Each structure stands twice: as structure tokens, then as C-alpha cells.
Structure 1
Amino acid sequence: MLEKSVAGAAAVVRGVKPEQFGGPTPCQDWDVRTLTNHLLQVVSALSLAGRREAVQGELWAQDLMSSQGWADRFDEEGRAAVGAWADATAWDGTVTMGDMAMPSLMIASMLASDLAIHGWDLARATGQDYRCDDDVAELAHRFVADMGEQGRQMGIYAAPLSVADGGAVFDKALALSGRDPQWTHPAS
């Protein structure tokens, strides 16, 4: 599932054009550039965590978009992350994120879900298609369902929205995170 999450986000990151950087996204207060930078931070965190290296708070403050080749950097970090998590020992024990030790499985689930949800955000903001594999959609839904209230308390998620009965699992994950699955770019 990590490989699918990384690949889905990578395809969208590669499709972002610099002239789109100032555009709005479904992430309140984040433009396309900020969201793309965040996805680079997430895939870097996934790579670090897979190598059992601490994910320090400084990572989240870095501007990883400051040089050309940011899409290539995403691809490189994505390959490194998938490779790191391919080692069975990456799934054991804990990894430090910020100042908290968290179970490796929780970190992998959180970051894979983040790549999927923010990959969708970026696709919507830049007029691209995004397809979330069913197993990744299930993972994202489970993670947001389990951690949503804590995420809302931390300001990570907005209030949950409702979706029609029988809606797609990924739409339910988006709605639980406070996103409208029907969101479109205001210029559309």
C-alpha cells in the first residue's frame, strides 16, 4: 500500500505546473505550492521513518520547493521510502516523530493516508485525475476514522462532512477529514 500511495501522489506532483503554484486547494489556507511542498515533506518523512531515523520537527518547516527538480526529488524520496519499508524490520518497534515515539505501523499508516488524501487535494487543485486504489482507500478511511477526533483537536482535520449512503470508501475518508469529495477548483 505504501508503494501505491507514493505512486499515486508522485503522478500528481509530476503534473503540477509552476504557474499553478498560487492556486487554491481543498486545504484551507494552503495554495498549490504549499501543498506540493507538504507532499515532499511527507514522502521525506516516510523515507526517514522507514530507515528508523527520527522525523524531526525541522522537516515540516523546510521549503523543499526552493530548487528546480522538486518532482524528481519526490520520485527519489518515494523510491527510498518504498525501499526502506520493504525491510521487514522497519515495521517493528517505534520511530520518533517530533518529540513522540510512535509505533512504526501507525507512522506508515498516517503518512500513506496523508499521501493519498493530499494527493487527491493536489489533483483537484490542479485539474488532474486521481485514482485511489481500494486498499489505500480502506487504509485512509480506517486511519481517519480512528484518529479523526485527535486530528481535529490538533487542527489537522476540519469537522467531518457527510456523504451519501453507499458512497465510495475514499469519499468517506475525505469527508471524515473535513473535505468535500465534490470540491472543484473555483475557476472550474
Structure 2
Amino acid sequence: MADIRELNRHAVDYSVTFVSRITAADLGRKTPCSAWTLADLLSHMTVQHHGFAAAARGTGADPAVWAPRPLAGDPVADYTAAAADVTAAYAEPGVLERDFDLPEFGPGFRVPGAVAIGFHFIDYVVHGWDVARALGEEYRLDDALAEPALRIAAAVPNGDERLRPGAAFAPALPESDATPLDRVLTLLGRSPGWPH
């Protein structure tokens, strides 16, 4: 498998492409993330970058770095800076072997960096799609990302934890074999035809 850091960088950079098209008038748009508006999703995505960057640098156990925040005066610039920060954190020497504290997954939850970056990668494949769909734009999953994204999506547990409030993903939908992206989305509870 390709270096998960490079796959993640590609997914995050692609998300920046769509986020950079958001205007103030778009922030109230609905998204595939249940009750979230585009403003809510953008806030979540920005905070998650900060949280994962902190985890990569050894300070992820602090719940404050994961706390939701209101959007900044220029949310697109804030998101772009957060994306650059997490990519830089992942490029630091030894990050794949370092343990990441991810308290959002539960008290004391800790995993090796390579696994944590895989979590971040699949999140930004899906959230990049979420933003694109909210804007009415097409999202194309790069061929180099398709197999790793499918493998990680298939490994995400599909039990009762997906029914809990705030769960990262909804229960899996009946599998679609139209495209690798459709399969990733249905595995993670997204309808590829959203909003229909």
C-alpha cells in the first residue's frame, strides 16, 4: 500500500479544492451529514484537522483541541490553514510509529500513527464528497485512493455504535457496486445519490 500520509494529503488537498468554493451564502446549505449545515460540517472538519495534528504531536489527549468552535471570520482560510497544519504534522519524522491519543473514540483511546492517519484519510474522502455534494458539484475519487479507501471503509465496524448520537458514520446501506466511491459511501452509511 502507498504511504498513508501521501494518500491522506491527497484526500485533504482535494477537500480544500471544494471548501475553497464555499461562499458565505452557502453556509446554510444542507449536507449529507444528517442535521448539519455546511457551516456545521466546515467547523467539524477544521476542528478535526486541529485535533489530529495535536495527536500527531503528542497533545491529542487534551479534550480542548477537539472541542467544536464557531467558524472564524474567514472560514475558508481557517480550513485551508488547518489542512496545511495536519499535513505538516503527519510529515514529521517517526509519526507513523508514534501513538495518537484520540479521545473522541472513547476515554484513553490510543492507536499507532499509521492507523490514526488511516482514520483521518477515510474521513476526508467522505467529507470531501459531503462538501462537493452540498455545493452540487461532482466528486471524483482518484484511482490511487480507491482501493485503500475501500479497504478502510470495509474495516469500519458496522454495529450499534453507528446508531449512537454523534456517531462518525450511519449504518451501512445496501452495497452499491457502481463505482469504488459508491461502495465507500454505502459502507459508511451515505447514499451516493444524495440528496435523492
Could you say which TM-score interval applies, normalised by the shorter chain?
0.7 to 0.9
Q: Which residue of 2 aligns with 1:156?
A: 168
**Equivalent of 1:141, from 129, 147, 150?**
150
Change (3 A) 1:95 1:63: same
* Distance (Å, rounded) in 1 between the aligned partners of 2:189 and 2:59: 31
* 1:89 and 2:94 aligned: yes
Secondary structure, counterpart of 2:28 in structure 1: coil
- Higher RCO, 1 vs 2 (CA within 8 Å, ≥6 residues apart): 1
Answer whether contact 2:56 2:98 (CA < 8 A) is retained.
Answer: no
* Distance (Å, rounded) in 1 between the aligned partners of 2:145 and 2:69: 28
Q: Which residue of 2 aligns with 1:23?
A: 29
Q: How far 1:129 sits from its partner (Å)? A: 3.0
Q: How far 1:108 sits from its partner (Å)? A: 0.4
User: Deviation above 6 Å: which 4+ runs of structure 1?
Assistant: none
**Equivalent of 1:68, from 73, 78, 87?**
73
* Distance (Å, rounded) in 2 between the aligned partners of 1:48 and 1:64: 19
* Distance (Å, rounded) in 2 between the aligned partners of 1:137 and 1:39: 21
Q: Please report the TM-score for the alignment, with normalisation by the length of structure 2.
A: 0.83
Q: What value does the CA root-mean-square deviation take over the aligned residues?
A: 2.0
Q: What is the 5 A alignment of 1:35-184? A: 35-65=41-71, 67-98=72-103, 99-149=108-158, 152=162, 154=164, 155-165=167-177, 167-184=178-195
Change (3 A) 1:15 1:31: same
Count of matched residue pairs = 183
Q: How far 1:109 sits from its partner (Å)? A: 0.6
* Distance (Å, rounded) in 2 between the aligned partners of 1:92 and 1:20: 40
Q: What are the ranges of 5 or more consecutive residues in structure 1 without an aligned counterpart?
A: none
Answer whether contact 2:126 2:185 (CA < 8 A) is retained.
Answer: yes
Q: Please report the TM-score for the alignment, with normalisation by the length of structure 1.
A: 0.86
